[in-house]
Amino acid sequence: MIRWNRLPLCLHVAWREFRAIATSYAVLLVLVGGVFAYGVLYNYMYAPNVVREVPVSVVDHSHTALSRQYIRLLDATPHVAVARQVQDMAEAKQLMLQAEVYGILYLPRDFEGRLLRGELSVYPFYAATDAFLYYEAMERANLEVMEAIDAAHRTEQMAFLSAGELAAVATQSPVTVVGTALYNPIEGYGVYLIPSVLMIIIFQTLMMLVAMMTGDEYKHRLLAPYVRLRGSHTHIALSLVCGKSLTYAVLYGIFSFFLVGLLPLLFDIPHGASWGALAVLLVPYIWSTSFLGLALSRWYTDAEAPVLLIAFFSIGLIFLSGVSYPFELLPWYWQVVHYLIPAAPAVLAYVQLSAMDASLHDVWPQLLALWGQVVVYFAWAVSTYKLKVGN
Amino acid sequence: MFMNVFLRELRRMTSRRIYLGAAVVLPLFLIFFMATIFGDGQMRHLPIGIVDGDNTATSRNIVRNIAAVPTFEIAKHYTDDAEARAAVQRREVYGYLSIPSDFEADMVRGNGATLNYYYHYALLAVGGEVMSAFEKALIPVRMAPVVVEAVTLGATEESIETFLLPMTSDDHALYNPSLDYAVYLAVPIFFIMFQILVLLVTLYAVGSERKQGTGTMWLAAADGNILRAVAGKLLPYTLIFICEALLAGVVFFRWEHIPMAGDMGLFALTMVLFIVATQSVAVILYSLFPVLPLVISVVSMVGSLGATLSGLTFPLSAMSPVVQWVARLFPVRHFTEAMQCIVYFGGGFPVCWPQLAVLCLFPVVMLLLLPRLRRILSTNPYDTVE
């Protein structure tokens, strides 16, 4: 049935690979669960996108109109909700310990008094840092209220100004500082995280797919028919690597279309990349991942063990990619590793293309890294398969 | 009998590289990874750009002040906003400050000068740092015109500043005052990734018996007692995992100087309960779905959900109630709560006992399922689905 002729052999391998994938429950489970269920699930989980109404408690020792105004304004911000007003700090700390509140605003006895005397009124605000998003939300809400209250009482405070100060206030105005978020106008956490997760799902499930196929291949000696073929080992290895990766490329062309093409449209996460740009990124990404998987298959002796190892690395890839902690601040050796693993540069390039309206020209370092991997991992995969059919 | 199973498992472990790799090498690698990946944990020297359209003494002074901020490193000056924006797109800079032309003139005339800064929010963590550093650095600039004028007219700087900002909040970031990423993430992410290994190694150790057709031999080694069989099999791993977790504790809290407010002994107990609870979940899952390739496929994906369901980066309370409920089924959620309670708040046993109690429930559920596992092992020693 196997004819010695490189093109048909390669296609024959591709067809066999496809049939093997379609008839293995475990593989189908990874593909359906990993690609489709996971892709949708992540979007669902992060759909709230922003944290709102972070609960804080207030210790109000001032009991004045001003302190009540402050508390009202704080409660009115979208970021923070005043969950409890308590008598003293001990009680507030207890609430924090029980994770009922994440911040404590303390308004001292002379909070309004100092203002009425024209003195500086300083009050402490304590915020938990066990989730940075909560911390940022609380810090921001408190700053907004502080500025609003300060502005509201400025006219009354004129009474305390000297002639020189009055003149200065009358003739000068403060500089307006405007900060603008680029690319993520709703400031959403999902908007930021999900594109990276989707790209890592592609890497992760494809590596698993290759591991399961090649692990079974070793265990059940599925390469035996190819070993018996006449012809050079290089040609057989080339046909095997090309045939298998052809199947992976076709399947993952479809899956990627769903993950990074369709899902972003459905869930309204960034989708700024054109189809053409996506293709230019995905072709080397899928190839380098397939070849890396095939190259590593030298050490796969069953279908389960490698899957276990691959699963372990998923979260680490987010850090390695440089989307959460900046690439520039990673130690040099992790920066080197970043360029060796297809998922890391691909995630970064995808975020730039889809969320930052970058052009392909802007992501050339990542594309170059991916194509470098394609070449190196292809050669490595062929040598792995030469070894396999050689024995 | 118990020792039989224990020793048999030690022989199985040493017979294949995968056990050494997944139970020893990877956890050690993980400790190294989490201890080094954040550099020194502080977001410093982030590249930013400057567009100085004014180019006067005032604008140059502002730029000098920005250059002195430790978070920033001025990578480049750009001639206009479009050029700076393109640099952000290439990820050369994470944000930029734009000083419009006539800035100084507007300021002197009291015309309401404006400064604009832009920060990268597709990369949210970095963007947040850049934004808050800009806000803090530009506070003196905001008030500068009024203060300078008032001081020239004979007022003191202090009194005019009191007038401008009479109420000033003194913000305290509890447990992590410098907002250090290593302090924030190293310990919890280590345990989130560690539990993936614990889950999968346990599943593999249990599931490979029927996969290799040795299920009945395993049971026979324990004289048919399923409790002994499971305990003897899991104990070697439990011991290894506990040693690794303790080593991680030493590395993070002693060498890396991550602050630990609570009692190290209580934290060690929490880690032990967490490891046992996670192993129990693996046995529970295998007892319910006793086909190794399928259950490994599912768990390898479910394991990384731990990062989301621990509520570490995006708080769970902001997610839908369904997700919050599902998260309770994962030991990692309860562990994260207990860890934050002990490590950050310095909470003792009276405060975090509910989390520890819940972690103890997982082994109990496992015990309830052992009869089912026994039945599976004795009646059907092979995996049937391929």
CB contact under 8 A, A330 and B39: yes
pLDDT band at A1 (very low <50, low <70, confident <90, very high): very low
ipTM confidence score: 0.87
- Give the contacts of B302 (CB within 8 A, at least 6 positions apart): none
CB contact under 8 A, A192 and B315: no
Q: How many CA atoms lie within 13 A of B167 on its CB side?
A: 28
Q: How far apart are the first and last CA of chain A?
A: 22
The alpha carbon dihedral of B198, B200, B201, B207 has a sign of positive
pLDDT at B384: 56
Q: Which fold has domain A54-171?
A: abc type-2 transporter like fold (3.40.1710)
Q: In angstroms, rounded to a whole number, what is the distance separating the alpha carbons of residues A139 and B308?
A: 24
Beta sheet of B167-173, edge-to-edge order: A80-86, A54-60, A103-107, A121-127, B167-173
CB contact under 8 A, B37 and A330: yes
Q: In angstroms, rounded to a whole number, what is the distance separating the alpha carbons of residues A104 and A86?
A: 10
pLDDT digits (tens, 9 = 90+) for B182-232: 888 899 999 999 999 999 999 999 998 888 888 888 988 888 899 999 999
CA-based nearest residue to A103, from A144, A52, A54, A147: A54
For chain B, the domains span 2-39+180-379, 46-164
CB contact under 8 A, A139 and B113: no
In chain A, ranges of CATH 3.40.1710.10 domains: 54-171
Is residue B46 within 8 angstroms of chain A, CB to CB? yes
- Tell me the mean pLDDT in the region A32-51: 85
Alpha helices (H) along chain A: 6-22, 25-29, 38-45, 65-76, 89-97, 111-116, 132-152, 154-157, 163-171, 189-219, 224-227, 233-256, 263-267, 275-296, 304-321, 332-340, 343-355, 364-390
pLDDT above 90 covers what percent of chain A? 39
CB contact under 8 A, A179 and B386: no
Q: What angle do CA A139, A120, B176 make, to 5 degrees?
A: 30
Q: In angstroms, rounded to a whole number, what is the distance separating the alpha carbons of residues B340 and A246?
A: 48
**Cβ-based neighbour number of residue B355 at 10 Å:** 23
Q: In angstroms, rounded to a whole number, what is the distance separating the alpha carbons of residues A80 and A82?
A: 7
Q: In angstroms, rounded to a whole number, what is the distance separating the alpha carbons of residues A254 and A31?
A: 12
- The nearest alpha carbon in chain B to A53 belongs to B318
Q: In angstroms, rounded to a whole number, what is the distance separating the alpha carbons of residues B105 and B377?
A: 85
Give per-10-residue mean pLDDT for chain B (386 aa).
87 86 92 89 88 90 90 91 90 92 85 88 85 86 80 77 80 83 89 93 91 86 90 95 95 89 92 96 93 85 84 83 90 92 86 92 95 87 56
- pLDDT at residue A164 is higher than 80: no
Is residue B38 within 8 angstroms of chain A, CB to CB? yes
So what's the architecture of B46-164 in CATH?
Answer: 3-Layer(aba) Sandwich (3.40)
The distance of A54 to chain B (nearest Cα, Å) reads: 9
What is the bridge-based pairing of β-strands A80-86 and A54-60?
parallel
Q: In angstroms, rounded to a whole number, what is the distance separating the alpha carbons of residues A389 and A370?
A: 28
pLDDT digits (tens, 9 = 90+) for B121-172: 888 888 888 988 898 888 888 888 778 777 777 777 777 777 777 888 888 8
Q: In angstroms, rounded to a whole number, what is the distance separating the alpha carbons of residues A191 and A188?
A: 5
pTM of the predicted protein model: 0.89
Is residue B368 within 8 angstroms of chain A, CB to CB? no
Residues linked to residue B73 through DSSP beta bridges, in sequence order: B47
Is residue B118 within 8 angstroms of chain A, CB to CB? yes
Which residues of chain A have a CB within 8 Å of the CB of B20? none
The distance of A144 to chain B (nearest Cα, Å) reads: 11
Residue A86: phi, psi to the nearest 5? -125, 170
Q: In angstroms, rounded to a whole number, what is the distance separating the alpha carbons of residues A292 and A297?
A: 9
The distance of A378 to chain B (nearest Cα, Å) reads: 25
